[in-house]
Amino acid sequence: MSAPRKLPRWAELGLLPLVNLLAALILSGVVVKILGESPWAACKLMLAGSLGTQDGIGYTLYYATNFMFTGLAVAVAYHAGLFNIGGEGQAYIGGLGSGLVALWLGDRAPFAVVLPCAILGSASFGAAWAFIPAWLQARRGSHIVITTIMFNFIGAALMTYLLVNVLIKPGQQSPETREFGAGAFMPLASDVLAKVGITFAATPLNFAFVLALLAAVLVWVLVWRTRWGYAIRVAGQNQSAAVYAGISPPRIIVQAMLLSGALAGCLGLNELLGAQHRILIDCPGGAGFVGIAVALMGRNHPVGIFLAAVLFGALAQGGSQLSFDMPKINRDMVVVIQGLVILFCGALENMFRVPLAAMLSPFAKKQKPAA
Amino acid sequence: MCPPATDSTVTGGTAPALELRGIDKRFGTVHANRGISLSVARGSVHGLIGENGAGKSTLMNIVYGFHQPDVGEILVGGRRVHIAAPHDAIAAGIGMVHQHFMLVENFTVLENVVLGVEQGAVLARSLAHARGELEKLARDYGLDVPLDTVVSELPVGVQQRVEILKALYRRAEILILDEPTAVLTPQEADALFKMLGRLRAEGKAVILVTHKLREIMAVTDRVTVMRQGAVVGEVATRDTSPRELAEKMVGRAVLLRVEKAPAKPGEPLLAVRDLEVRDRLGVARVKGVSFDLRAGEIVGVAGVSGNGQSELLEALAGIRAPARGAITLGGHDLVAQNFGPRERRRLGLAHVPEDRLRMGVVTKFSAEDNAILGYQDRADYQRGPLLNRASIRADCEKKMTAHDVRPALPLLRISAFSGGNQQKLVLAREIDCDPQVLLIGQPTRGVDIGAIEFIHKKLVALRDAGKALLIVSVELEEILGLADRILVMNNGEIVGELARADANEEKIGLMMAGVKEAHA
Amino acid sequence: METYTLIVLTLAATIRVATPLLLAALAGMFSERSGVVDLGLEGKMLGAAFASAAVSAVTGSAWAGLGAGVAAAVVLALLIAFATITHRGDQVVAAVAINIMVAGLGPTLALAWFNIGGQTPQLDLPGQRFLALVWPWEHVAREHPFPGLLYAELLSGHNLVVYFAAALVPFSAWVLYRTRFGLRLRAVGENPLAVDTAGISVAGLRYQAVVISGMLCGVAGTYLSTAASAGFTRDMTAGKGYLALAALIFGKWKPYPTLGACLLFAFTDALAVRLQGTPLPIVGVIPVQFILALPYVLTVLLLAGFVGKAVAPAAIGVPYSKEK
């Protein structure tokens, strides 16, 4: 058992994730082969379906918006040394927050008023759902991985109760609310582009995509360019050093998780205000878990997260294309690929590190041992 | 790999218990062991001495099967053995008492001893067998331990005995002890050495790994000196002297004394009154400690590690909240006003922590990010709401030049620097804001000789500039070399205070063992 | 009399719900006691549920299904072990990966092989499922409801897996506390370095523990698809793996308290089904979702130290490496 060898920075940030991704895709290809379809054809179908048409690109970026929010949520927690596995529940409850604002204001206020309120609603509800596990970790030492999982289930139960018993549109069978008022509809990309004279296919891609990009920039500035981000990173790396530096780890845990939950909560802006226009059962649809894959793949950096989110968006969109054209494959295949990507980019990330380091070492300049 | 029959002509009776031939080991770019050969006779205590990082631990870990040598062979009783894992070492009759005990804390002594050498799949029989055997061993070697007590409830000295019992129960003929006295008082250490004498008389081979010359001179028959991964000398202990060994260890004549003028203590800057610190379980670790720290003096706190010095230091630095008492600095009661590390720094209290890697630096951060740790709020590091990267970098470069930190690369990860250079950067960071009081834990732990001299000179210079320094160190020599006044701690109390002129190793040793001044 | 019957029937339902929980929780106990976090219970169970239902449907033998279920779960367990023990990958990440992958793989393979949506064919032939065993004189006992109904509903009338799970509790306790393997297992979860220096392979022990966990998850998953129901459906574990983990924590990683936690959680589930829409005295109608969320809330309260204190194995979640 040799220790993981050091890779040069470009290989660590670029080559290694690509190699891991490739391994996951090759294995996915094997699964497709087992299903009796051609991996090559499937690959081409997915590419064409996700990035080959305006339609595909629109859907890809629409999915990517969800994944950016949840991926950023995982990354912020990660930098504070926390594994927030509760993005799903935070996104769900955050959706409730934005949805309530939309139900309340959608009919009586213009979008310019609804938007800030909806952002506040989703972020505060998401943050609130992250707060309890965060506080329990900070003050009572309860393991946040377990508590956030529990809160996913508690959140799901709460939402089912609310949708079935409280928020359901009267006289309706399926547990969903009434449609939001038009003031709460996120502007669609196709409409906005049409105004400046560009025709773009009608897809759910909406203004929330821009918000997600802004969130990515915000996270970058906060984490890498402010005192607060410095404190988060110190506390995430070394709690003793944080205490020594006058940084309170419990406070950081709570603050970082509030931001993390708020980011996850913003999923509702895209999914509910942008696409569904109502609150419905299981609106995050697993995006909270995909966020883990996105953050891992993107090395917890906003740029990486953007790229990984687009990749996963393309997978989601390409996967639905695939299920249309290949009768033996359904959308679940995408979930398989997501799982494999997490496996190779996350859990097995060390597997290729050693051989890669060995392959690259002839090119690396000789390092002098530090005196 | 090597059949044990190759050297079968050598009879067991005269062959050394353990022989190493040309052991060579690299970790990446670090050449940890360079062609080491070593021979340990039966019925002898063999000392292995060297500075931190000289390669002693690597060598012993190779003997115990934790690492594989790149080149070289190991012979036990004249037979070549291949040791791929601790399992093989145990089978070859090698036992090791590690510096950090390898005990399962929530198991009883008996369970710990049996672990790994059970007889059969069901436990009851193994435990019964071990109990009988251990009672016999305890009688033979005077190693009394309560067999059914959970290990975490035993004092460290007793835990160490459990480790030795474990090795003997496994019928070890060769016993390696890695820095065994780090956790013991000098008197407890003497008891351990007596026990080692008994093992020697039984014909066992004992290897004592240490960096303390006193121990080598006291108990060993032969001594091997290592420096920078290589053996630089092997002598019979009676034919050598501490000075000669020290010079071999370091590679040149050593300055055993720090050059300094007598202290001119001024006003008390820091006053501590009746300080009590409790740990998380509510056990008092510091019990009613009071003292003053004056401008222009260095006060050393001596004691066996684990007697409350760390807790005292952390309470003074604001890392641990004391249960009661007062700490006064610049007219403020830090305890009553509930000042944390941040406020204390602002009042001119700086702190170099005992365990650099655990607390003093963030190993994955660059040097420049580490150079602002604790001072991240300083105005000149900010630009509006953001951190001012340019000024942080310039400031780090300045510190690196002033304190001879090499290489002077602010963007290099701190873990790529040697211990000495890390410590110099930490010290630079802490004295940059011109603090009046400086708390320093283990000033030179894991620091190479060159940097030690630099750091010692710097500390004396700070004293001469009128600062008050409190130094906690487990190295008695360092305390004796630097301090103007010495406080000795035992079991959370200050059991004695000595002016440097009145202090010597023996006196302090007795105090460290808890013998109060009056009876000394 | 009516209430009495209701209570007995609820308890019988409790036993049926508790069985897969208990099997998975004990699986998790072996893994976590060795220091490997077992968030993968859900995925391993789901994989086994699919494999056993698929094989049972094809071969017509529930036993063949059981074999396939165990094999599938062990393969998944080995995958986790390979990532976390051999390559020292993050245990939580590995488990999440497996859970997600299996959630997709089951329906994907089901569609490709059986072509009836993402599920396996109904298991309705005799021999394809583990059916309830009726104990002797069961019908005689029923004629004397007290105490006959207890015998008929609680002791008799369960399938083989239920009895297996019940027997597994004392057996696990014996293994954990009275055998060499148990001693080493507990040691490696507390201080792997000590185990290594004692000459025992840390990786070897952890592999064994993880494989045992896989086997038991295999039985649990098989129970879900070939005993409790008649075939595999999408997401049929529905969080039972996480619930089992909660029970394990609630049981403080000890066999008998874990049994207690499983029974408690199963009871809340059985109760929720019974109480659906029935008003209770004083409190009125309790929404079923609240009862279903109760185990999770209880576990959070436990972890928060408000009800007792759960101390996890000291070395849990930390990949072992000699080099530090």
The CATH-assigned architecture of domain C2-306 is Orthogonal Bundle (1.10)
Reported as a single tens digit per residue, the pLDDT across A129-177 is 999 999 999 998 888 988 999 999 999 999 999 999 899 888 888 899 9
Q: Are A94 and A288 in contact (CB under 8 A)?
A: no
B132 Cα to chain A: minimum distance (Å): 39
For residue A44, give both structure tokens.
């081409």
Reported as a single tens digit per residue, the pLDDT across C251-296 is 989 999 999 999 999 998 888 888 777 777 777 777 888 888 888 8
Q: Specify if A46 maps to a domain.
A: no
**Torsion angle (degrees, nearest 10) of CA B100, B414, B443, B216:** 40
* Closest by Cα among C305, C269, C302 to C288: C269
Which of B108, B115, B415 is the best substitution to test chain C (most C C-beta atoms within 10 A)?
Answer: B115
Reported as a single tens digit per residue, the pLDDT across B130-167 is 999 999 988 888 788 899 999 988 888 889 999 999 99
Is the CB of B85 less than 8 angstroms away from the CB of C183? no
Q: Is B319 on the interface with A (CB under 8 A)?
A: yes
Judged by average pLDDT, the poorest of A5-19, A49-63, B89-103, B410-424 is: A5-19
Q: What residues make up the domain containing A182? A: 54-349
Is pLDDT of C324 > 70?
no
Confidence (pLDDT) at C318:
82
For residue C125, give both structure tokens.
């032939």
Q: What number of other Cβ atoms are within 10 A of residue B519's Cβ? A: 7
Q: For residue C1, what pLDDT band results from cuts at 50, 70 and 90?
A: low
Q: Are C303 and A143 in contact (CB under 8 A)?
A: yes
Residues of chain C in contact with residue B357, where contact means CB-CB under 8 angstroms, are none
Report the DSSP pairing between strands B18-27 and B71-76.
antiparallel
Q: Are C170 and C145 in contact (CB under 8 A)?
A: no
Q: Specify if A268 maps to a domain.
A: yes
For residue A282, give both structure tokens.
């299981």
What is the end-to-end Cα distance of chain A in Å, rounded?
28
Break chain C into its structural domains and give their ranges: 2-306
d(CA A320, CA B175): 67
Find the residue in A nearest to B409 (Cα).
A370
Question: In terms of residues, how long is chain C?
Answer: 324
Q: What number of other Cβ atoms are within 10 A of residue B14's Cβ? A: 9
CB under 8 A, 24+ apart: contacts of A1-9: A1/C321, A1/C322, A2/A354, A3/B27, A3/C321, A3/C323, A4/A350, A4/A353, A4/A354, A4/A357, A4/C88, A5/A353, A5/A354, A5/A357, A5/A358, A5/A361, A5/B28, A6/A357, A7/A353, A7/A356, A7/A357, A7/A360, A8/A360, A8/A364
B87 Cα to chain A: minimum distance (Å): 16
Is the CB of B116 less than 8 angstroms away from the CB of C201? no
d(CA C211, CA A179): 50
Reported as a single tens digit per residue, the pLDDT across C152-186 is 788 888 889 999 999 999 999 999 999 999 999 99
Compute the average pLDDT of residues B485-509.
88
Confidence (pLDDT) at B6:
38
Establish whether the linkage from the previous residue to B407 is cis, with ω within 30° of 0. yes
Q: Is B389 on the interface with C (CB under 8 A)?
A: no
For residue B45, give both structure tokens.
């205590």
Render A246-310 in DSSP notation, one character per residue: T--HHHHHHHHHHHHHHHHHTHHIIIIIIII-S-BTTTTTTHHHHHHHHHHHTTT-HHHHHHHHH
Confidence (pLDDT) at A140:
87
- Mean pLDDT score of chain C: 90
Residues of chain B in contact with residue A370, where contact means CB-CB under 8 angstroms, are 406-407, 416-418, 421
Q: Which residue type sits at B209?
A: V
d(CA B134, CA B169): 7
Find the residue in C nearest to B58 (Cα).
C323
Q: For residue A363, what pLDDT band results from cuts at 50, 70 and 90?
A: low
Reported as a single tens digit per residue, the pLDDT across C182-209 is 999 999 999 999 999 999 999 999 999 9
For residue B130, give both structure tokens.
């071990």
Count CA within 13 A, CB hemisphere, residue B372. 28
- CB within 8 Å of B215: residues ≥ 6 apart: B47, B181, B189, B193, B208
Q: Specify if A35 maps to a domain.
A: no
For residue A349, give both structure tokens.
């990330």
Q: For residue A5, what pLDDT band results from cuts at 50, 70 and 90?
A: low
Count CA within 13 A, CB hemisphere, residue A208. 34
Q: Which residues of B161-187 are buried (b: 16+ CB within 10 A; e: fewer)?
A: bbbbbbbbbbebbbbbbbbbbbbbbbe
Nearest to B123 among C178, C198, C201 (CB): C178
* Closest by Cα among B365, B371, B358, B359 to B413: B365
Confidence (pLDDT) at B12:
45
Q: In a 3-state reduction of DSSP, which class is residue B403?
A: coil
- Mean pLDDT score of chain B: 88
Residues of chain B in contact with residue C196, where contact means CB-CB under 8 angstroms, are 66, 86
Compute the average pLDDT of residues C102-116.
91
Confidence (pLDDT) at B518:
45
Confidence (pLDDT) at C303:
82
Confidence (pLDDT) at C131:
84
Which carries the bigger pLDDT value, residue C172 or residue B211? C172
Compute the average pLDDT of residues A327-349.
88
Distances (CA, A) of A164 to A173, A279, A281, C289: 9, 11, 9, 10
Confidence (pLDDT) at A369:
39
d(CA A291, CA A71): 4
Confidence (pLDDT) at B419:
84
Q: Is B447 on the interface with A (CB under 8 A)?
A: no
Residues of chain A in contact with residue B28, where contact means CB-CB under 8 angstroms, are 5
Q: Specify if A44 maps to a domain.
A: no
Number of domains in chain A: 1
Compute the average pLDDT of residues B217-231.
91
d(CA B197, CA B203): 10
Using CB atoms, list chains with 3+ pairs below 8 Å to chain C: A, B
Compute the average pLDDT of residues A16-41.
90
Q: Specify if A202 maps to a domain.
A: yes
d(CA C117, CA C101): 18
Which carries the bigger pLDDT value, residue B478 or residue B7? B478
Q: What percent of chain A has pLDDT over 90?
A: 70
- CB within 8 Å of C295: residues ≥ 6 apart: C243, C246, C247, C250, C264, C265, C268, C269
